Amino acid sequence: MGGFPILSVMTFLPLAGALLVMLVRAATAGSSKGESSSQSRKAVLLAAFIISAATFVASVAAFFAFDPSVDGYQLVEQYAWYGPISYKLGIDGLSLSLVLLTTFLTPICLLASWNSIEKRVTEYVIAFLVLETFMIGVFVSLDLVLFYIFFEAGLIPMFLIVGIWGGKDRVYAAFKFFLYTLIGSLLMLIAMVYMILAAGSADFEVLEKFAFAPGIQTWLWLAFMASFAVKLPMWPVHTWLPDAHVQAPTAGSVILAGVLLKMGGYGMLRFSLPMFPDASALFQPAMFALAVIAIVYTSLVAWRQTDMKKLIAYSSVAHMGFVTLGIFAFNETGVQGAIFQMLSHGLISGALFLIVGVVYDRMHTREIAAYGGLVNRMPIYASFFMLFTMANVGLPGTSGFVGEILTMVGGFQAATWAAAGAALGVIFSAVYMLTLYRRTVFGEITNPHLNDIKDMNIVEWICIAPLAALTILFGVAPNLIFNLTDSSTARVLSLMAGGQ
Amino acid sequence: MLPDSLLIYIVLAPGVAALTGLFHKWIGDRVVMTVTTGVVLSCGALSIYQLIAYAAGIGGAAEAVHHASGYDAYLTAGVEAAHVELRQHIITLMPWIHVGDFQANWAIRVDTLSIVMMAVITGVSGLVHLYSWGYMSEDPHKSRFFAYLSLFTFMMLMLVVADNFIQLFFGWEGVGLASYLLIGFWYTKKAPNDASIKAFVTNRVGDFGLALGIMAVFFVFKSVEFGPVLEAIRTNAVVTPMFAEAAPAREAVMVFFGERVYALELIGILLFIGAMGKSAQFFLHVWLPDAMEGPTPVSALIHAATMVTAGVYLVCLLSPIYEYTFYASGMVALVGAVTALYAATVGMAQNDIKRVIAYSTCSQLGYMFFAAGVGAYEAAMFHLFTHAFFKALLFLGAGSVIHGMHHEQDMRRMGGLAKFMPLTYAAMMIGTIAIIGLGLPHTKLGFSGFFSKDAILESAFAGATAGVSFAEVAFWFGLLAAFLTSFYSWRLIYMTFHGPAPHEAHAHDAHAHDAHAHDAHGQDAHAHDDHARDDHGHGHDHKPHESPLVMLIPLALLSIGAVFAGFYFYDAFVDANNEAFWAGAIYRAETNHVLHDRHNVPEWVLWAPLVVTVGGFLIATFTYFFNRGVGARVAASGGPLHALFSNKWYFDEIYQATLVRGSAFLGNLFWKADKKVIDGIGPDGLAKLAGMSSRRLSLMHSGYLYHYAFVIIGAAIIFGAVLWLRSGGVN
């Protein structure tokens, strides 16, 4: 221990920023009578952007302080708290890569709100910054109680972002989102209490080595999975996602698809496999079945959608199916592929929601039928959209391919039928994405409102271009990520093998 | 052999050139066109030089093998030896995906196969780039077009120089992307958009097989690199697939869907499904005719000479696998033979000039596959090579006709063009004579198709004699297809270039045409006819005209290849020097002698192709030259056979009714299940049970009890599923 507490700084920087924004706002509220003029609105967004950018810099510093060749958790900070509970932070390659994804996407989200969020901007950025702290906290916590606090608390700002800044049916969507995630969390809490009592510690490193009896494991596994399955989401507890996405503001969708879903996959890798190895093995066929159903079923549903965001939301469920498949393959290719798929999906689906946001800001509709022929007016937009369409269908050379092929290769080694089922999804993804693209971008302009539509502006460029660059970079040189996640994958698998 | 730097240039430069398209706003169309064309032409010149030097060097003796520094892998090859040591040079550019045993690099693999493919790809591509200066001269999106062409060239090169399955897959899907973009190049029109999606999705069906095949390869060999995998099969090394006992590679068994199957058979079949998609073989051929919606230079490059041959290349590259399979290689032979015949029957009854040639391509690809299926991989590659010349020639010639006819593609509205465009006519004649394979047995007199097609048919016959599965079917189907090929090829020439010129009597013809267009084409082509007619409207006062020089030069150069390529490369590809030429890039089992045995086939087998070809020519001449009305009358009488052929055996209709509708039905059903069943039981049901409307959030806490119930029920279902799966024993 000792040294500079970089993880704590990184985690709580956004929260501190949120407090700062709140204080400044309270101080100036009297003078401007709470009316948020355009100028103060931008000032608030800019302040939030700078805070989140600083957080990104902090996470990059953590990246450089991290040594991927060393096994186990690094940069650990631990302070006793209460009995078996302690304040303990630390990272391995898995958590670091997800932290980087979070800190990278948050500034983009705030920037993407530049023109689209009109009301209660101060509260909006506070919600976002608080959310960022909680998201980072989830990935760096090494203590059950701490983890649970971050994991649950993250629900609240997300709930507010959908419920306040969302679309027409935002309350229903927020309710559904809250309901689903809360149920899982409650079961997880009970399981956690049991674990702490049984092991006498809430420390991950202790729990990883503690061998729970196989019978108990099954129940603990189910309780945790109730939460992770909702988060990821897996079929059949996925139906909150399309509603939440459709109603959420663009930035909310980006962070939801980009980071929040990954908590499910992260949880499986951090808890289910290493702590309950026997139960994981027991449930492997069921998880494969659910993964394949998720991939095939939601891909077909995605094809039938008339709402752009709903289509991409369903496509997210399908892509998360590959994550489940890879994780439960219990081999290096599968797990590495699953981690990669999570990161890649964070970039690609985030970008796709931004892409939808670009035209939504102009036309205020997400109906596919309202578009058509965009390429005639927005060629640059069309090019970016094409890139992410291809990335989403897993074209080799984009990051989308690497995750899909590795999870399938890994899955094939465990159960051929699961890989074959997942591969079917690769066909369907082409169907729904190309249909979406063709209906919105290709063709003649039929809707007269589209005649004066403008191509991407500078803010949209700044949001989308980095995602495009990373999608290609990680597609061509994925080893950049594998080098980072290599040892944590090996660790998960060895813990699992040790337990069995 | 070229030095590494030039090889890297050939492969990567077209990709870099394609990027200039992104900056066309600043640098202008002409710069993009000049850069892409210049780069690809230079690659073409280098690659063709390399191939010719390589083939010529082999003719001498072993000393032809180059010993330049750095060519450590190009070691001596015993020319006399029955099985030549593999000569191969691999340039590793950078690592790509490294996860455990899964090691895939970005690499350039140079062996005879890739040398041949590089020459075909860059040679044809360079000429197509040049040709497009004329053909696309009036298009407002020239930069985009040239950038796509170069992108395609790059992807195709990456495919053929891959040293592992994953880079091959990159090129494989990459050419699919380029093909998709180019078929849908005119993106405001409906038909090209439909066709481009159809092409991509059908290819994805094939890629489903290819991807599973690659997974199976990794499963058995724990590697995705060609080197170790193919070496294990060549030497019959012991492998240990998961969940199975160690066994020699050729007899290894693996578990697939709970069944124990021979690993090589499974791998061979799965990979071939990929080849069927890319190469438009029976069942997965439906996208190729529709792909003709793309600009004609694209059809020549992608949908005739290069991309569609990727499947053939794959089978030849993986010859060690197919050499030791019975079912997989039998499937290759059978599917190839059926496609050769099927596509030829459909080609007879089409009226769109490009569709005739498209079906002809499909049919010729069938020849290549059954050649590979019976074990004559060299003959398959030879036909791939000669076919590239004459099929690109035919397509570019057709493009010249379409250009000269102001975007008319219906042959019933053509005729008498020989006097308006004599050079195009000459080129098309050469292409036709080459494709029907005219030549004299026992001599080396013949056009290039003669050498390759006859080598295939003789090999098939030799294979049948040796008892190779489906070789006999392949021979007879191939012979019959040769007859039909001659018929439809001459039909095309007569309808287009001979007889009265309809534009001179246009008013008289127009009505009859409308009536035909409807029943002959069906809906897809109808939309397309409309656009042809629009274009024709403003141009039909003009007479047909010969194409500009920039389009004729490629025709002339391809004509040279169509005439002489067969003669020049015969020894190297399939005859006396073939073992030294291939240098192990194509592998033959000790028991496979078809390529040699084809010299021992009965005399009639040598003459049969010539006889059926002349027969086809005579019938076409009778029905479309001397009695021009006969063909049209047969079409109008609407016999069942004609209906079957002109409607492509109703494949589109059947797929539409089953696969497309079925998936749509399932999609709708699942969507409803989401809303009614899952939401109905889940959140909405809970809300109702708790007696609260979804808008009254404050009451949500009262629902906790039911949340538990919901989760417990869900858990019970999952648990039940686990028990079922555990006991059911489905792996």
Residues of chain A neighbouring B216 (CB-CB closer than 8 A): 412
Q: Which of B496, B532, B494, B484 is nearest to B397 (CA)?
A: B496
Q: What is the pLDDT of residues B251-280, one digit of tens each?
A: 888 888 878 889 999 999 999 999 999 999
Q: Which residues, numbered 311 to 340 in chain A, qualify as contacts with chain B under a Cβ-Cβ cut-off of 8 Å? A: 331-333, 336-337
For the purposes of burial, counting CB atoms within 10 Å of the CB of A215, is it exposed (0-12), middle (13-18) or buried (19 or more)? exposed
Residues of chain A neighbouring B174 (CB-CB closer than 8 A): 395-397
Phi and psi torsions of B182, nearest 5°: -85, -35
Residues of chain A neighbouring B671 (CB-CB closer than 8 A): 301, 304-305
Residues of chain A neighbouring B707 (CB-CB closer than 8 A): 179, 182-183, 186
pTM for the full predicted model:
0.90
Instruction: Report which secondary-structure segment, H or E, holds B160.
Output: helix B142-161
CA of B360, closest CA in chain A: separation in Å? 28
ipTM of this predicted complex?
0.93
Say yes or no: A164 contacts chain B, CB-CB below 8 A. no
Say yes or no: B674 contacts chain A, CB-CB below 8 A. yes
Q: Distance between CA B659 and CA A69 in Å, rounded?
A: 50
Quick one: pLDDT at residue B703? 44
Instruction: Please indicate, yes or no, if residue A426 is contained in any of the structural domains.
Output: yes
Identify whether the C-beta of residue B76 lies closer than 8 Å to the C-beta of residue B64. no
For residue B541, give both structure tokens. 């006062």
Q: Distance between CA B175 and CA B291 in Å, rounded?
A: 14
Instruction: Report which secondary-structure segment, H or E, holds B499.
Output: none
Instruction: Please indicate, yes or no, if residue A299 is contained in any of the structural domains.
Output: yes
Residues of chain A neighbouring B105 (CB-CB closer than 8 A): none
* CB crowding B290-320: b at 16 or more within 10 Å, else e: bbbbbbbbbbbbbbbbbbbbbbbbbbbbbbb
CA angle B365/B367/B373 to nearest 5° reads: 105
For the purposes of burial, counting CB atoms within 10 Å of the CB of B701, is it exposed (0-12), middle (13-18) or buried (19 or more)? exposed
Share of chain A above pLDDT 70, in %: 97
Residue B102 three-state SS = strand
Quick one: pLDDT at residue B680? 73
Quick one: pLDDT at residue A254? 93
- The full 3-state SS of A416-484, as one line of letters, equals HHHHHHHHHHHHHHHHHHHHHHHHHCCCCCCCHHHHHCCCCCHHHHHHHHHHHHHHHHHHHCCHHHHHH
For the purposes of burial, counting CB atoms within 10 Å of the CB of B94, is it exposed (0-12), middle (13-18) or buried (19 or more)? exposed
Start-to-end Cα distance in chain B: 49
The answer to whether residue A148 scores a pLDDT higher than 70 is yes
Say yes or no: A353 contacts chain B, CB-CB below 8 A. no
Quick one: pLDDT at residue B338? 95
Quick one: pLDDT at residue B512? 41
Q: Which of B8, B97, B7 is nearest to B51 (CA)?
A: B7
Q: Distance between CA A53 and CA A103 in Å, rounded?
A: 8
Instruction: Please indicate, yes or no, if residue A458 is contained in any of the structural domains.
Output: yes
Instruction: Please indicate, yes or no, if residue A210 is contained in any of the structural domains.
Output: no
Say yes or no: B693 contacts chain A, CB-CB below 8 A. no
Residue B103 three-state SS = strand
Instruction: Please indicate, yes or no, if residue A208 is contained in any of the structural domains.
Output: no
Say yes or no: A478 contacts chain B, CB-CB below 8 A. yes
Contact criterion met (CB < 8 Å) for A435 and B197:
yes
Quick one: pLDDT at residue B617? 93
Instruction: Please indicate, yes or no, if residue A494 is contained in any of the structural domains.
Output: yes
Contact criterion met (CB < 8 Å) for A415 and B216:
no
Q: How many domains does chain A have?
A: 1
Instruction: Please indicate, yes or no, if residue A474 is contained in any of the structural domains.
Output: yes
What is the average per-residue pLDDT within A296-322? Answer: 92
Quick one: pLDDT at residue B718? 58
DSSP-derived secondary structure letter, B3:
-
Say yes or no: A475 contacts chain B, CB-CB below 8 A. no
Q: Which of A155, A141, A153 is nearest to A94 (CA)?
A: A141
Q: Distance between CA B381 and CA B578 in Å, rounded?
A: 12
Q: Distance between CA B558 and CA A392 in Å, rounded?
A: 40
Quick one: pLDDT at residue B711? 53
Residue in chain A lying closest to B203 (CA):
A427
Contact criterion met (CB < 8 Å) for A430 and B731:
no
The answer to whether residue A37 scores a pLDDT higher than 80 is no
Range of the domain at A336: 276-500
CA of A176, closest CA in chain B: separation in Å? 6
The answer to whether residue A140 scores a pLDDT higher than 60 is yes
Q: Which residues, numbered 140 to 179 in chain B, qualify as contacts with chain A under a Cβ-Cβ cut-off of 8 Å? A: 166, 169-170, 173-174, 177
CB atoms within 10 A of CB B123: 26
Say yes or no: B94 contacts chain A, CB-CB below 8 A. yes
Residues of chain A neighbouring B663 (CB-CB closer than 8 A): 300, 303, 428, 431
CA of B246, closest CA in chain A: separation in Å? 16
Contact criterion met (CB < 8 Å) for A479 and B98:
yes
Residue B73 three-state SS = coil
Q: Which residues of chain B carry a pLDDT beneath 70?
A: 59-85, 503-542, 685-731
Residues of chain B neighbouring A479 (CB-CB closer than 8 A): 95-98
Residue B684 three-state SS = helix
The answer to whether residue A29 scores a pLDDT higher than 70 is no
- The full 3-state SS of chain A, as one line of letters, equals CCCCCHHHHHHHHHHHHHHHHHHHHHHHHHHHCCCCCHHHHHHHHHHHHHHHHHHHHHHHHHHHHCCCCCCCCEEEEEEEEECCEEEEEEECHHHHHHHHHHHHHHHHHHHHCCCCCCCCHHHHHHHHHHHHHHHHHHHHECEHHHHHHHHHHCHHHHHHHHHHHCCCCHHHHHHHHHHHHHHHHHHHHHHHHHHHHHHCCCEHHHHHHCCCCHHHHHHHHHHHHHHHHHHCCCCCCCCHHHHHHHHCCHHHHHHHHHHHCHHHHHHHHHHHHHHCHHHHHHHHHHHHHHHHHHHHHHHHHHHCCCEHHHHHHHHHHHHHHHHHHHHCCCCHHHHHHHHHHHHHHHHHHHHHHHHHHHHHHHHCCCEHHHCCCHHHCCHHHHHHHHHHHHHHCCCECEHHHHHHHHHHHHHHHHCHHHHHHHHHHHHHHHHHHHHHHHHHCCCCCCCHHHHHCCCCCHHHHHHHHHHHHHHHHHHHCCHHHHHHHHHHHHHHHHHHHHHC
Question: What is the distance, to the nearest Å, from the Cα of residue A472 to the centroid of all Cα atoms in its chain?
Answer: 19
Q: Distance between CA A442 and CA A378 in Å, rounded?
A: 11
Residues in chain B: 731
Quick one: pLDDT at residue A479? 92
Start-to-end Cα distance in chain A: 32
Which among A336, A383, A405 has the least Cβ separation from residue B211?
A405
Give the dihedral sign, CA B186/B190/B192/B197: positive
